[in-house]
Structure 1
Amino acid sequence: MFTITDTLICLISAVAFVNLLRMATPGQPGDWSGQQIRNPLMRNIYYRMIEDQRHREDTHSYWYEFDVSALPEDLREKFIGFHQDLETTQFLESCYEKADWIFTQLRHSLLRYILSWFMTSTSINGWLKRGSMFIFSRSQLDALLDIPTGWHWQAENMLDLGAGDGMVTSQLARYFDNVYATEISEIMVKRLQERGYRVLGISEWSDGTRVYDIISCLNLLDRCDRPISILHSIRQSLRRGSGRAIVAVVLPFKPYVEFGSTDHQPTECLHIEGKTFEEQTVSLIRHVFTPAGFTVEKFSKLPYLCEGDINKSFFVLYDAVFVLRPTDV
């Protein structure tokens, strides 16, 4: 059995090993093969640092690739293509840095294993203050909302549904006098309140007492029990004439309900057809947003990035991001 001293020696050795790799040949974490490293922890760190170096030298153009020719003509002009900009690169750099915090990452791994017996993944991340997300940079958001560079645009109310720790919310918050959010996880609610956002109850945000200039629904439709009902509530809660919704959906679409479902399947199903990203994007527009009373103004494809762990600096999924307005406006 390992003693506390043995564990500390192992951890200190891991940190020393990481520092040794950093001082290795420029452009490569080391000159030896990872298979020669017997310790599993150190071997994982070695492979992760190799992968980080590869990502640092990559502009990830494939994250943004979208076959516009596969779209119907009426949708082609609404698509906006993006690339990895400075703000996205800075988020990735912070992920690489945090992955190198060996003691912190090992403590998180241990606590995550223990807490997983009685807490959801979302709540664990909130408690550990880890797993922050990144969807769009400020310049990408401005392009989606058609806000000219340098123009001071300000509105009254915004609402972020399922806001998590509020990091993505903060990209929108700068434009609004009042920032509202919803979140089921009690721990994430505390994180949002720490940022100064007002958290509304699940049935409170759509009770008709206030209207919103922007409602963001980011990566929620595939994680909630009643996505169709949420879309209808969004439509009814937007400011008439000027209100817009920003909706992001991970594709390929794979619904999984973390709260309020015993089998993790939603009560309301979104019937999204197609195998490719482009086909499912069109299906979302035709079979989900249009029947819910929305018209797409703009849309794009963006990487949905999440802070990683000791083995992987970040995780990436692919988002279809839409700006919607109620059809009757």
Structure 2
Amino acid sequence: MHVFSCEQFQKLMASSGFRGPWHSLVDLGAGDGATTAHVAHLFEKVYATDISAPMRWALAKKKFTVLDVEKWYESGPFDVILCLNLLDRCDRPNTLLRRLKSSLAPGGRLVVALVLPFSPYVEVGERGDHKPSEYLPVKGNGLEGQIASLVDRVFAPLSLRCLVWSKLPYLCEGDLGQAYYFLDDVVFVLEAQPDSSRYSASEWMDTEPSGREFRNLPQQQTGYERKCNTA
């Protein structure tokens, strides 16, 4: 899959106010590591997880440190955590979000990508019906309605503050009927807040830097991956 280029990732980080340190990155559910590879050179240590044995082999071949999917957090805390198109595919998304928050280093950033409208599908879960065991209360009509719902009803109760979000085209592997699918991904950059703090989606609808939409990210060409020459 292709979510963002190195240039897009750096602009998201800068827009969220992140200036480092760039010591450690972990990419959860990294697949074959194609997206991870775009940004790996920015960090001193790069970790990745995936439930698939062939994907873990591919990640190791790319020289990433592959962590156990059940114990990845033991290698933390991490400066940046990538959770790209995973919340709608995992059985316990609320539990995962709490673990993600606790695994962030002070001042770190959690990058979450989701295809909207939200449509969860769990390949292997406790229920056995492809529905998640934990419910994410994502409501709302249209893109901004669903984004506001994620900020207010999912991230805020867990004291995860949305600093910036952007919509990017998501290129993912297809099936027998179509080689590739082109979807809209919404990428959120979050930071951990004290458990007592609360905020609402109205904050990122202001003109203040905190939580604003970042509309000027360069779009990758359809079917191709942009190259980033920034070291």
TM-score by length of 1: 0.55
Letter in 2 for 1:274: G
Give the Å deviation of 1:142: 1.2
Give the Å deviation of 1:156: 1.2
Identity %: 44
Alpha-carbon separation, structure 1, partners of 2:6 and 2:55: 23
- 1:283 paired with 2:149, answer yes
- 1:187 paired with 2:57, answer no
Alignment of structure 1 residues 81-160 onto 2, 5 Å: 133-146=1-14, 155-160=22-27
Alignment of structure 1 residues 217-228 onto 2, 5 Å: 217-228=83-94
Give the Å deviation of 1:186: 1.0
- 1:161 paired with 2:28, answer yes
SS at match of 1:174: helix
Q: 1:239 to 1:153 in 2, by over 3 A?
A: closer
Q: 1:258 to 1:313 in 2, by over 3 A?
A: closer
Report the structure number with the largest CA radius of gyration: 1
Look up the match of 2:221.
none
1:229 to 84, 95, 102: 95
Alpha-carbon separation, structure 1, partners of 2:55 and 2:105: 27
1:273 to 139, 145, 152: 139
State whether residues 274 and 283 of structure 1, in contact with CA within 8 Å, keep that contact through their aligned partners in structure 2: yes
Letter in 2 for 1:143: K
Q: Which has the higher helix share?
A: 1
Give the Å deviation of 1:200: 0.9
CA offsets 1:9-56 (integer angstroms, 9 cap, x no match): xxxxxxxxxxxxxxxxxxxxxxxxxxxxxxxxxxxxxxxxxxxxxxxx
Q: How many residues align?
A: 191
Alignment of structure 1 residues 248-259 onto 2, 5 Å: 248-259=113-124
Q: Which has the higher strand share?
A: 2
- 1:197 paired with 2:28, answer no
State whether residues 301 and 319 of structure 1, in contact with CA within 8 Å, keep that contact through their aligned partners in structure 2: yes
Alpha-carbon separation, structure 1, partners of 2:41 and 2:20: 9
Letter in 2 for 1:176: F
Look up the match of 2:109.
244
Alpha-carbon separation, structure 2, partners of 1:174 and 1:154: 14
Letter in 1 for 2:99: S
- Runs (4+) of structure 1 exceeding 6 A deviation are none
State whether residues 98 and 158 of structure 2, in contact with CA within 8 Å, keep that contact through their aligned partners in structure 1: yes
SS at match of 1:168: helix
CA offsets 1:58-77 (integer angstroms, 9 cap, x no match): xxxxxxxxxxxxxxxxxxxx
Give the Å deviation of 1:260: 3.1
1:177 to 44, 49, 72: 44
CA offsets 1:162-181 (integer angstroms, 9 cap, x no match): 11110011122111111111
State whether residues 273 and 279 of structure 1, in contact with CA within 8 Å, keep that contact through their aligned partners in structure 2: yes
